[in-house]
């Protein structure tokens, strides 16, 4: 028995969700008294691969093969199943990322394994039942799932647990799956990367604007705040619908769901569909000229005032703070 964690690197480097997933897997392995294996199908170099060991992986399986620059969930799940068989894993951990969302259900079907997607917490084992908590109703509630299958797959919501380093010596093992070019039925024609340094779903700080900002020209001050704090910008749905901002920035129940450490909502009323996508944020600041705006009820900190006056002053204060630190 063992726990197998599938991690992805991005341009050869691991990001925080990978360390979270390995920490998570290692903790489950400790609970079950088994080993932790990690699997990486990417071009990360040895030092980078070893860094995963610091978070508790006993063995790290890596695949070096140019073909995997292509992404096809059927092929990726084939490789994961090969690692699963070699490590005799009963619990598989993935990350609830774009690719994780594509691979996990394919893998679950092939292994006839129960899947909890977007887990928020470590599983609990109570009277032989294996329980995992996740958000449901777009964050309006949470639910504890019981997993009945022998094999279990959990895909972990990023930013749900804190990565923890341990003293550990990881063993690297190369896995050489028998995969041919023709196994990839999905062909990538082109990759279009949006500008901007931090992507919204990874961002720890998100500065978001609503219709209260009056027009797209007023987003410069939000972008400035995001720059000062090293965050990303987001918006409410109507703002994307009227093309003040790109659709990729729309957060909420029908947009992207985010869980940053800090969410600053400026000129957003706080409709239930908007809150559904952002209420996983650790701390929420609301700036609105209407003291009755529903968003204040969900906020940790609030400022009543005109965004066009408050935001420039707040930017000044953030800048001073950053210079002093």
Partner 1 sequence: MKILVCISKTPDTTTKVSFTDNNTKFNSDRVQFIINPYDEWYALVRAIEIKEKSNAHVTIMNVGGADNDVIIRKALAIGGDDAVRIDAEADDAFFVADQIAQFLKTEPYDIVFVGKETIDYNGSQVGGMIAGLLDLSFISLASKLDVDGNTATLERDIPGGKEIVTVQTPFVVSASKGMAEARIPNMRGIMAARTKPVKVLPAFASERLTSIKQYALPKEKAGPKMIPSDNPEELVMLLHNEAKVI
Is 154 one of the binding residues for partner 1 (CB under 8 A)? no
Is 227 one of the binding residues for partner 1 (CB under 8 A)? no
Among 46, 137, 166, 214, binds partner 1 (CB under 8 A): 137
Residues 32-71 that bind partner 1 (CB under 8 A): 71
Among 115, 179, 213, 222, binds partner 1 (CB under 8 A): 115
Judge contact between 43 and 53, C-beta under 8 A: no
**What is the distance between the alpha carbons of residues 239 and 65, in angstroms, rounded to a whole number?**
43
**What is the distance between the alpha carbons of residues 84 and 218, in angstroms, rounded to a whole number?**
51
Sign of CA dihedral 131, 132, 133, 135: negative
Judge contact between 2 and 37, C-beta under 8 A: yes
Span of 29-37, 55-63, 83-91, 190-198 interacting with partner 1 by CB under 8 A: 190-198
Residues that bind ligand FAD (CB under 6 A): 210-212, 236-239, 252-255, 267-269, 271, 273-274, 277, 288-290, 293, 306-308
Distances (CA, A) of 52 to 63, 64, 168, 179: 15, 17, 10, 25
Pick what 45 binds: ligand FAD, partner 1, none; C-beta below 5 to 8 Å, kind-dependent.
none
Pick what 149 binds: ligand FAD, partner 1, none; C-beta below 5 to 8 Å, kind-dependent.
partner 1
DSSP string, 63-114: E--GGGGS--HHHHHHHHHHHHHHHTEEEEEEE-SHHHHHHHHHHHHHHT-E
Strand-pairing partners, residue 119, are 134, 156
Judge contact between 272 and 236, C-beta under 8 A: no
The footprint of partner 1 on this chain (CB under 8 A) covers a number of residues equal to 97
Among 38, 92, 161, 205, binds partner 1 (CB under 8 A): 205
Return the ∠ at Cα 144 (arms to 139 and 148), rounded to 5°.
135
Pick what 225 binds: ligand FAD, partner 1, none; C-beta below 5 to 8 Å, kind-dependent.
none
Question: Rounded to the nearest whole angstrom, what is the least distance from the CB of residue 260 to partner 1 in the complex?
Answer: 9
Judged by beta carbon, residue 45 or residue 290, the one nearer ligand FAD is 290
Question: Rounded to the nearest whole angstrom, what is the least distance from the CB of residue 174 to partner 1 in the complex?
Answer: 26
| Side-chain-side CA neighbours of residue 146 (13 Å) | 5
Pick what 268 binds: partner 1, ligand FAD, none; C-beta below 5 to 8 Å, kind-dependent.
ligand FAD
Tokens linked to 323: 């210079």
Is 74 one of the binding residues for partner 1 (CB under 8 A)? yes
**What is the distance between the alpha carbons of residues 119 and 115, in angstroms, rounded to a whole number?**
10
Question: Rounded to the nearest whole angstrom, what is the least distance from the CB of residue 290 to ligand FAD in the complex?
Answer: 3
Question: Rounded to the nearest whole angstrom, what is the least distance from the CB of residue 238 to ligand FAD in the complex?
Answer: 5
Is 2 one of the binding residues for partner 1 (CB under 8 A)? no
Pick what 55 binds: ligand FAD, partner 1, none; C-beta below 5 to 8 Å, kind-dependent.
none
Is 221 one of the binding residues for partner 1 (CB under 8 A)? no
**What is the distance between the alpha carbons of residues 48 and 39, in angstroms, rounded to a whole number?**
13
Judged by beta carbon, residue 53 or residue 252, the one nearer partner 1 is 252
| Side-chain-side CA neighbours of residue 152 (13 Å) | 23
* Of 245, 278, 247, 248, residue with least CA distance to 263: 278
Question: Rounded to the nearest whole angstrom, what is the least distance from the CB of residue 318 to ligand FAD in the complex?
Answer: 18
Question: Rounded to the nearest whole angstrom, what is the least distance from the CB of residue 155 to ligand FAD in the complex?
Answer: 22
Among 85, 189, 217, 243, binds partner 1 (CB under 8 A): 189
């Amino acid at each position: 028995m063992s726990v197998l964690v599938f991690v992805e690197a991005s341009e050869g480097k691991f990001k925080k969700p990978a360390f979270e997933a390995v920490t998570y897997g290692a903790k489950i392995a400790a609970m079950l008294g088994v080993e932790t294996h990690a699997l990486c199908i990417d071009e990360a170099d040895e030092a980078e691969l070893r860094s995963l060991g610091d978070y508790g992986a006993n063995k790290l399986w890596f695949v070096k093969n140019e073909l995997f620059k292509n992404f096809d969930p059927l092929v990726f799940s084939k490789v994961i199943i090969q690692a699963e068989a070699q490590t005799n894993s009963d619990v598989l951990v993935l990350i609830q990322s774009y690719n994780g969302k594509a691979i996990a259900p394919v893998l679950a079907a092939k292994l006839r394994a129960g899947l909890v997607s977007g887990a928020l917490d470590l599983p609990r084992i109570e009277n032989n039942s294996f329980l995992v908590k996740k958000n449901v109703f777009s964050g309006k509630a949470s639910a504890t799932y019981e997993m009945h299958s022998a094999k279990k797959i959990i895909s972990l919501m990023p930013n749900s647990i804190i990565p923890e380093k341990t003293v550990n010596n990881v063993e690297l093992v190369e896995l050489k799956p028998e995969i041919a070019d023709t196994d990839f039925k999905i062909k990538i024609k082109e990759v279009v990367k949006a500008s901007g340094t931090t992507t919204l779903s990874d961002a720890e700080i998100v500065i978001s604007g609503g219709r209260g900002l009056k027009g797209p020209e007023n987003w410069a001050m939000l972008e400035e705040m995001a720059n000062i704090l090293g965050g990303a910008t987001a918006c409410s749905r109507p703002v994307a619908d009227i093309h003040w901002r790109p659709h990729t920035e729309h957060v909420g129940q029908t947009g992207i769901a985010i869980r940053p450490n800090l969410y600053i909502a400026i000129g957003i009323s706080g409709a239930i569909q908007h809150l559904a996508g952002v209420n996983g944020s650790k701390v929420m600041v609301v700036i609105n000229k209407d003291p009755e705006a529903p968003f204040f009820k969900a906020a940790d900190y609030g400022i009543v005032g005109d965004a066009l006056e408050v935001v420039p002053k707040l930017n000044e204060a953030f800048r001073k703070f950053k210079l002093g630190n």
